[in-house]
Structure 1
Amino acid sequence: MAGWSAMGGTHEFVVPDDHQAQQLAQALAAHGFAQVMARPSPQGGWKVTAFDEGPYPVDALGHRMIEAVGRAAAAVARLHGGYPQGGSRCDVGMLHVLRGADAPIVCTNPGARPAAPAVAVVAPAPPAPLALTPDTVQDGPVDLSGLDDIPWADLGHAHGSAEDVPDLLRALADPFGDWDQTLDELFGDDLLHQGDCYSATAPTMPFLSRLIASGAKPAGQRLDLHVWLLIAAGRWADSLLGDADRAVVQGRLPEPATWTEDVHLAVGAQLPELLSHWEAEPPAVRFVLACLAGLYPHLGRRIGDQITVLAQEFDGTQPGAYLLLADALVHVRDDQALAVAADIVGWETSLDPGWLDAAGVTGAVKAGHVLAEGALRVLGNAE
């Protein structure tokens, strides 16, 4: 965003056919967008694009303003059988590039702009360091028994067959291996590529807990493994929220993306073993354990009192806000959890306020998603 004079962007929606595309384009122009275009979508249906000239300030407030306009436009789209599917942000002077070639449907309302709902950006709580000490490491092998009993060649990840997963897991167990590169390849490139889950993702989760429980990995590496477990567990809720608008239009409940429920269950199956190590873990790892517990309250309540104490220790800080959210979820205080999640979204501008308004999704799932997504942003202070 460096060098932008002011921010504009697009709001994109999908409708079933050209008739509804025409109606939605007209409605969005009447709503206040100076230009709206519609084209057939390669994925089926029609894509309707509203060009938002703003201008908006190039800061957190500006992003919140254009997001609020997008949510209001999504309400218009729902009335015409449409649901949001992305958009863009750019320097307002570059919007002409996004318009591209002529579209079969074009509606204009020269000089208009949609009303910008009142928004505010709250000053964030101060950061706080999350210690990785004290730490104990024990020499010894990692139990990977059963690894070769899984038909990895019949499973898949982002780049095809998962037959390479056993070697990558063994590389993680190797104390002399390239930890960061291997971890990034296994999860960032293969098993959780761009947030998607695959048939090989769930079967891998038990081996992460074995790496953690072995005691052979230092705290920094245990933290990495817990973080990937948190990311994996959160894909189920992320996919439900991502389907919520589409589900409303189609008259059904949101559905999870393929394999995400299996992965969520697989992480949950490892949680009792992970939580049993709470007392031996340093604060940074306890923080992630508390977040995992918040996603599985029926399992996490065993450390509910410990989470309450940790939240009090970090009261008034960014980690403390997420720990307070985890505490509310573990103790099944869902209304409080939603209130805390709303407070966090108020200052953590990378989180989508629309999550909290999603239809057909429970309050616990919404708050848990804020917890899973937002907590990762405070771990840069682990030391």
Structure 2
Amino acid sequence: MAGWSAMAGTHEFVVPADHQARELAQALAAHGFARVTARPSPQGGWRVTAFDEGPYPVDAIGHRLIDAVGRAAAAVARQHGGYPEGGSRCDVSMLPVLRGADAPIVCTNAGARPPTPAVVVLAPPPRRSLALTPDTAQDVPIDLSGLDDIPWADLGHAHGSAEDIPELLRALSDPFGDWDSTLDVLFGDDLLHQGSCYSATAPALPFLSRMIVSGALPARQRLDLFVWLLVAADRWADSLLGDADHAVAQGHLPIPATWTEDVHLTVGEQLPELVSRWETEPPAVRFLLACLAGLYPHHARRIGDQISLMAQEFHGTRPGAYLLLAEALVYARDDQALAVAADIIAWETNHDPGWLEVADVTTAVKAGHVLAEGALRALSDAE
């Protein structure tokens, strides 16, 4: 965005047939878009493109504004059996280039501009460090029994057969191994590649929990494993929110991505043993443990009071905001969770306000996604 004078862009929608594409293009033009086109999509159906001339400021408020306009356009699309499917952002001078060749359906409304909803971007609360001390690690073995009983060769990850997973898990438990590289290959490349889950993802996760509770790993490594457990647990909610608009257009409830539900349930099964470590963990690890607990209130309510105390300790800071959200979720206070999540989104511009507007998804899932996404950001801010 460096050098942009002002921002414009496109909003893309998909409808099943040409008559719906024409009707939607006409409706979006009437809504205020100066130019709307539609053409057959290679993936099936028709793709309708609304050209948003803006101009919007090239800052957080500008992005919030164009995104809000896009969400209002998505509501129009839903009335015509359509759902959003991406879009683009560019300097205003590049918008004519995006128009490309003439499409079979073109609707214009010269000089028009869609309504611009009011948006709020607040100043974020101050950062607050999360200590990794005091730390204790013991020279004890890590129990990996049962690792070879899993039919890894019959399971898969991002690059094919999962038969290499036992070797990677053993390498991760080796105190003299290359921790960072092994962890990156295991999860970044294989088991959670680009946020996807695979048949081998869930079976591998209990071994992370064993490493954490063994007492053999230093706090920094335990923190790394909690990060991946939180990322894994959130894939289910992320996929539900991502499918919500498509589901509405198809007339069914959102469908989670393949294997994400198994992964979510597997992380939850580890939580009772993990929360038993609350008193022995330093603040940074407790913070992630509290956020993970917020995704599984039925497993974690017994540390609710401790989460409340930590939220008070960090009150008025970025970590404190997420701890307050975790507390609300642990105690199933949906209205409070929604309010806290909305407050966070007002200052955390990397969060999508649309998460809280999704239909047919529970408040706990929506607010929990804000918690999981933001916790990792707050942790990196503090380090």
TM-score higher than 0.5: yes
**What whole-Å deviation, never above 9, does each CA across 1:84-118 have from its counterpart, x for those lacking one?**
11112222222233333332222222222212111
What corresponds to 2:226 in structure 1?
Answer: 226
The 2-side partners of 1:90 and 1:177 are apart by 45
- Paired residues for 1:126-205 under 5 Å: 126-205=126-205
**What whole-Å deviation, never above 9, does each CA across 1:60-101 have from its counterpart, x for those lacking one?**
100110011001000110111001111122222222333333
Structure 1's consecutive aligned runs of 4 or more residues displaced over 4 angstroms after TM superposition are: none
The 1-side partners of 2:251 and 2:201 are apart by 31
What corresponds to 2:85 in structure 1?
Answer: 85
Tell me which moved more, 246-255 or 100-109: 100-109
SS of match in other structure, 1:256: coil
What amino acid sits opposite 1:276 in the alignment?
Answer: S
Q: CA deviation at 1:382?
A: 4.3
SS of match in other structure, 1:375: helix
Q: CA deviation at 1:343?
A: 0.4
Q: CA deviation at 1:202?
A: 0.6
What corresponds to 1:102 in structure 2?
Answer: 102
Equivalent residues of 1:132, 1:382 under 8 A apart: no
The 2-side partners of 1:106 and 1:163 are apart by 53
What amino acid sits opposite 1:167 in the alignment?
Answer: E
Q: CA deviation at 1:284?
A: 0.5
What corresponds to 1:332 in structure 2?
Answer: 332
Equivalent residues of 2:69, 2:115 under 8 A apart: yes
SS of match in other structure, 2:49: strand
What corresponds to 2:264 in structure 1?
Answer: 264
What corresponds to 1:12 in structure 2?
Answer: 12
Tell me which moved more, 331-340 or 249-258: 249-258
Q: CA deviation at 1:271?
A: 0.6
- Aligned alpha-carbon RMSD (Å): 1.2
Tell me which moved more, 94-103 or 137-146: 94-103
Tell me which moved more, 19-28 or 88-97: 88-97
Q: What runs of 5+ residues in structure 1 fail to find an aligned partner?
A: none
The 2-side partners of 1:10 and 1:181 are apart by 39
Percentage of matched positions with identical amino acids: 81
Q: CA deviation at 1:177?
A: 1.9
The 2-side partners of 1:144 and 1:321 are apart by 37
The 1-side partners of 2:83 and 2:167 are apart by 43
Equivalent residues of 2:127, 2:382 under 8 A apart: no
TM-score by length of structure 1 reads 0.97
- Paired residues for 1:1-383 under 5 Å: 1-383=1-383
The 2-side partners of 1:325 and 1:196 are apart by 26
TM-score by length of structure 2 reads 0.97
Equivalent residues of 1:284, 1:382 under 8 A apart: no
Query: Are the structure 2 counterparts of residues 99 and 168 from structure 1 closer, same or farther at C-alpha, using a change threshold of 3 Å?
Result: farther
Tell me which moved more, 180-189 or 89-98: 89-98
The 1-side partners of 2:86 and 2:180 are apart by 32
The 2-side partners of 1:158 and 1:97 are apart by 36
Q: CA deviation at 1:176?
A: 2.1
The 2-side partners of 1:36 and 1:169 are apart by 52
The 1-side partners of 2:224 and 2:101 are apart by 46
What amino acid sits opposite 1:264 in the alignment?
Answer: H
Tell me which moved more, 152-161 or 278-287: 152-161
**What whole-Å deviation, never above 9, does each CA across 1:234-261 have from its counterpart, x for those lacking one?**
1111111111112222222112111110
Query: Are the structure 2 counterparts of residues 118 and 134 from structure 1 closer, same or farther at C-alpha, using a change threshold of 3 Å?
Result: same
Query: Are the structure 2 counterparts of residues 98 and 174 from structure 1 closer, same or farther at C-alpha, using a change threshold of 3 Å?
Result: farther
The 1-side partners of 2:138 and 2:118 are apart by 56
**What whole-Å deviation, never above 9, does each CA across 1:10-31 have from its counterpart, x for those lacking one?**
1111111111111111111121
What amino acid sits opposite 1:125 in the alignment?
Answer: P
What amino acid sits opposite 1:373 in the alignment?
Answer: E
**What whole-Å deviation, never above 9, does each CA across 1:219-243 have from its counterpart, x for those lacking one?**
1111111011001101111111111
Equivalent residues of 2:230, 2:372 under 8 A apart: yes
SS of match in other structure, 1:286: helix
Tell me which moved more, 309-318 or 109-118: 109-118
The 1-side partners of 2:69 and 2:209 are apart by 43
